[in-house]
Structure 1
Amino acid sequence: MSYLDTFIFGIYPYICLAVFFVGSLIRFDRDQYTWKSDSSQLLRKKQLRIGSIFFHIGVLFLFFGHFFGMLTPHFLYEPFITAGQKQVMAMASGGIAGVFGFIGLTILLHRRLTDDRIRATSRPSDILIAVLLWLQLFLGLATIPLSGQHLDGSVMMKLAGWAQHIVTLRGGAVELLSGVDWVFKLHMFLGMTIFLIFPFTRLVHVWSGFASITYLVRPYQIVRSRKFGMGRK
């Protein structure tokens, strides 16, 4: 493995994760008024609903699919499904979700770039993150034909092994990627880069989406009518 591979797949992941967590925490602490998705619905509703629905369905499925698919040890699912079967399932479900996300983001990106008012109120980071996500979805879809050339799941096992070595701080992660096609590597690099710039973009509102789960377990909020209270003696 080259020095570039060692840096990108052995050191760069930890830089991205450190900036992702620490940067998000600092932004929440210092700039809470910027912690929002900055919706442009008031400027133009057209295309927003269908594009947003398609994009979020696709991306959320892909996020959790990658998270559990890459980080679940092989021995946990081996008694129920082979690596090859898991790969075929990932190709089919991920392909459908990827198409949903790609179509949705294409609609949203077209809307943002072609509407003068939305373009004028968009920050450079808004356009940058949309373009990067679009490229990431495109690369993800481009890996499907390559995965079809090795249906035994061998490459998927290498990628999952790399991810598990990284998050558990084990050595030898870079060596696991030997022989992996450059499209997979570019997809991985761009994914890590999105984590790197995450705290500096509107994507930080994703944290709030996950935090909203706490509403299910929080105590009931008691609301009293001011008018009723003032009228009592």
Structure 2
Amino acid sequence: MLSVPYVNTLLFGVYPYVCLAVLLIGSLIRFDREPYTWKSDSSQMLRKGQLRLGSNLFHYGVIIVILGHFAGFLAPHWAVDWALTPVAHQLLAMVVGGIAGLLAIAGLTILISRRLGDERIRLNSRKWDIVVVLMLWLQLALGLLTVPLSAFHMDGALFETLTGYVKGIVTLDGNAAASMIDVPLVYKLHVLLGFTIFLISPFTRMVHIWSGVGTLAYLVRPYQIVRTPKTRAKEPVRS
């Protein structure tokens, strides 16, 4: 079904741009119209147990996965070929991505168990909160399934096909979708679910990923002066 030419073009040539457009425009509109909803809605006040472990494992793992995807799929050939052959590049992606993916899915499993197993957290969760974490878990699982499958294609050809597709989407190549016709199903599902997560992000708590990018501004901002109650008590009283 997914290999039918017109279906392939619709799903891998048109759908990605719909998702990316909604992600960008929807996020801008939400930031402008509903800035106070721009948050991750932490449940720490309801229960601290398992949150730190699960959250740290998930976020550190998924950040490495995301950065790895950007570096692996979007880096120009001249920036990689001098150091890595396509086979070595694929092997590096498998090892680093596999380890990071395992950390992320372990942390997310803890968070899902905590959210669904604790009645107070479950009752205070929106339906979209549960849908999002389950979609993220499935996406990580699909990504991990591609690791052993990639081991049977160590010639680097499949990796180059996927890299070419992603670069084609970014560079607005109208023929990018054609390269996905013969790609194994698990990779297609992984790509489609990834774009779907982009699609729903502006309407869910996932919108706070933009804030993660925005934290880079903290590297160049001036220091803040923080006065605690103790330091304020020591200050002289001005008449």
> 169-178 vs 33-42, which deviates more?
169-178
Q: Is the aligned partner of 1:153 residue 2:156?
A: yes
Q: Is the aligned partner of 1:124 residue 2:121?
A: no
Provide, for residues 8-67 of structure 1, a one-character-per-residue CA deviation record: whole Å limited to 9, x for no partner.
100000000000011111111111111111110111111111111110111000001001
Q: Is the aligned partner of 1:231 residue 2:237?
A: yes
Q: Is the aligned partner of 1:17 residue 2:20?
A: yes
Q: Is the aligned partner of 1:88 residue 2:91?
A: yes
Residues 223/100 of structure 1: CA separation in 2 closer, same or farther (3 Å cut): closer
Percent identity over the alignment? 55
* Counterpart pick for 2:44 among 41, 44, 48: 41
- For the residue of structure 2 that corresponds to 1:133, the secondary structure is helix
Q: Is the aligned partner of 1:215 residue 2:215?
A: no
Match of 1:139 in 2: 142
Q: TM (normalized to structure 2)? A: 0.92
> 207-216 vs 38-47, which deviates more?
207-216
Aligned residues: 233
Contact residue 8 and residue 181 of structure 2 kept, 8 A: no
Q: Over the residues paired in the alignment, what is the CA RMSD in angstroms?
A: 1.8
**AA aligned opposite 2:193:** L
Match of 1:186 in 2: 189
Distance in structure 1 (CA, Å) of the matches to 2:225 and 2:57: 37
Match of 1:70 in 2: 73
**AA aligned opposite 2:20:** L
**AA aligned opposite 1:66:** H
| Consecutive unaligned residues in structure 2, runs of 5 or more | none
* Counterpart pick for 1:32 among 23, 35, 43: 35
- For the residue of structure 2 that corresponds to 1:61, the secondary structure is helix
- For the residue of structure 2 that corresponds to 1:231, the secondary structure is coil
Contact residue 61 and residue 101 of structure 2 kept, 8 A: yes
**AA aligned opposite 2:45:** L
Distance in structure 2 (CA, Å) of the matches to 1:75 and 1:218: 34
Distance in structure 2 (CA, Å) of the matches to 1:158 and 1:60: 24
Distance in structure 2 (CA, Å) of the matches to 1:4 and 1:214: 42
> 16-25 vs 218-227, which deviates more?
218-227
Distance in structure 1 (CA, Å) of the matches to 2:181 and 2:137: 27
Distance in structure 1 (CA, Å) of the matches to 2:83 and 2:161: 20
- For the residue of structure 1 that corresponds to 2:175, the secondary structure is coil
- For the residue of structure 2 that corresponds to 1:38, the secondary structure is coil
Contact residue 139 and residue 194 of structure 2 kept, 8 A: yes
